[in-house]
Amino acid sequence: MSDLPDLSDAPWRDIPWRLLGDARGVPTMLSPQERRAYLWLAEHWARGAGCVVDLGCFAGGSTAHLAEGQRRDGRSGRIHAYDRFTISDPLKEKFLYPAGIAPYEGDDLLDAARQILAPWAGLVDLHPGAIEDQTWTGEAIEMLVMDASKAAHTMDAMAATFFPALIPGGSLIVQQDFLHWKTPWVAVQMARMADWVSPAGHAERDTMIFHVDRPLDAAAIDAGRCADLTDAEMRAALLDMRARLDGFGVEDRMDALVRAVELNAGERIAWKMKTAP
């Protein structure tokens, strides 16, 4: 990994907002630093050694920033964006209509996402449906963005599908929900796969970025499964990851993940996590 850019100092931190280009107007739940990180990673880290895959793109926010970064670098590879592409009326009011999407009936988000991503249409393939039921072509994946790990069992399924295509020594896993208290199993998964992946960077608010160090084979996938872990096993993995992230300044966030497990005994679905730490 020595010839690849160092991510530990968040080199995207001071990117001028204007450099986000058309992505500035895309509706997203990403923080400003996460938006900068996605753009920077696609422009300066990715080298075209494999596909960029975005799991859980909502209305296209993460995908737009990845595509804009790739466009700035002049690469023409496809970005594969996966989502159920459904949306509630309150979220349409909050995200879509202020972005210029005309009001409409129903919960379909796919057509709106296509409109939003029109500036990058030549770079993006959209894959609608439950991500845990999707398949992958087997092509190498250079950067895998995960923002759909809202339940431990779906996260396990996505890992089994996409992780084996990651390039040892040449891929990143971008875990957007890593530090979110409602999804502590994301950090648990990475902790239990510590023999295969290593922490590389943090994009405020919730994103942690990991290098893929070794092939993510069947043993790695089995090690990372979280759906059937006990709370004690979850807690132990989180404490291990807390130690591994020394220097990233996220100790308080990791402590909150531990408390979230303790306060929501046995829960492995984000929307059912009721008691905040």
Q: Is residue 267 situated within a structural domain?
A: no
CA angle, 211 then 216 then 217, to 5°: 170
Say if residue 2's pLDDT is above 60.
Answer: no
101: domain CATH number is: 3.40.50.150
Specify whether the backbone of 106 is left (phi greater than 0), alpha (psi in -120 to 50) or beta.
Answer: left
Compute the mean pLDDT over every residue in the chain, rounded to the nearest whole number: 96
User: How far, rounded to the nearest angstrom, does the alpha carbon of residue 154 sit from its chain's CA centroid?
Assistant: 14
90-97: list long-range contacts, CB under 8 Å, 24+ apart. Answer: 95/27, 95/28, 95/29, 95/58, 95/59, 96/27, 96/59
pLDDT of residue 76: 87
**248 in any annotated domain:** no
pLDDT digits (tens, 9 = 90+) for 16-66: 999 999 999 999 999 999 999 999 999 999 999 999 999 999 999 999 999
Residues 64-94 have pLDDT tens digits of 999 999 999 999 889 999 999 999 999 999 9
- Quick check: is 242 in a domain? no
Is residue 274 in a domain?
Answer: no
Note the pLDDT of residue 143.
98
pTM of the model: 0.95
In which domain, by residue range, is 67 found?
A: 17-227
Kindly state whether residue 141 falls inside one of the protein's structural domains: yes
33 found inside a domain:
yes
Q: Is residue 158 part of a domain?
A: yes
State the total domains in the chain.
1
pLDDT in tens, 227-272: 999 999 999 999 999 999 999 999 999 999 999 999 999 999 999 9
Q: Let me know if residue 221 belongs to a domain.
A: yes
Question: pLDDT exceeding 90 applies to what percent of the chain?
Answer: 96
